[in-house]
Amino acid sequence: MDFNEYLYIIRSDLYRFCGSMKISQMIRCLFSNEGGSYKYVFWMRTCNYTRNSGILRYTLYPLARHLLLHYTFKLGISVPFLADIGSGFYIGHYGGIIVSPFSKIGKNCNLSHGVTIGQSNRGKNKGYPVVGNNVYIGPGAKIIGRVVIGDNVAIGANCVVTKDVPDNAVVVGVPGRVISFDGVNGHEKVGQKSA
C-alpha cells in the first residue's frame, strides 16, 4: 500500500463515519470524544500502512500499534490490522466486535456491536469468511467458517450465518436464512454515506 492509497482509505472511512473527507474533520474525530470507532479504524489502517514502510516501521508503527492496542481494550473491538478490509469501513457502535485476521471484508461494510466474523477449525466449513461490498451486519450477528457473503447483503440482528449468502439477500435467524432479495436498500444505512 502506498501513501496515496492509505490516504484514500482513511478518508473514505472518515466519510462513512461523519460524511466529510476534510483533514480538519479527521483531526476533530481523532482528538475528541465523538470519534471512538473511527479512532480504532484509523489506527488499524495506520498499522497496516506503516508496518512495512521503511523508516515508519521503526518510528510511527510502534506508536500506532500501542494506540491500536489501547483502543482494542477501551472500545472492545478486535479487528486485526492484517485483515483484508476494503475502503469505507464503518463500525456503528463499539463493543464485542471480533474479526478473524484472515477474513476478507469488501468496501463500505457496516459492523454493529457484538459482531463476530470468525474462523471454523473443523468440518466442511473449515476456514474464514469472505464478506462482499456494501454489506450491513446487524448487532450480535455471527458469520462463522468458510462462507461467502455476496454484495449488497443485509444480515439481521443476532443472525448466525454458516452458509453462503447470494447478492442482495436479507438474512435473519438462527441458523441464518434468506427472507428476501431486497438487500441493503438504504434503511439499514440511515445517516451513513457511501464511499
93 is a catalytic site residue = yes
Q: What is the enclosing helix (H) or strand (E) of 168? A: none
Of 171, 169, 172, the C-alpha closest to 185 is 169
Cα–Cα distance measured from residue 30 to residue 169, given in angstroms and rounded to the nearest whole number: 35
Cβ proximity of 141 and 121 under 8 Å: no
Given 70, 93, 113, 187, the catalytic residue: 93
If you search the block for the grid coordinates 461523519, which residue do you land on? 18
Of 132, 135, 133, the C-alpha closest to 147 is 132
Helical H segments across 1-55, by residue range: 3-18, 23-30, 36-50
Q: 3-class DSSP state for residue 23?
A: helix
Of 149, 169, 179, the C-alpha closest to 161 is 149
Give the relative orientation of helices 23-30 and 3-18 as an angle to the nearest 10 degrees: 70
Query: Which active-site residues does the annotation give?
Result: 93
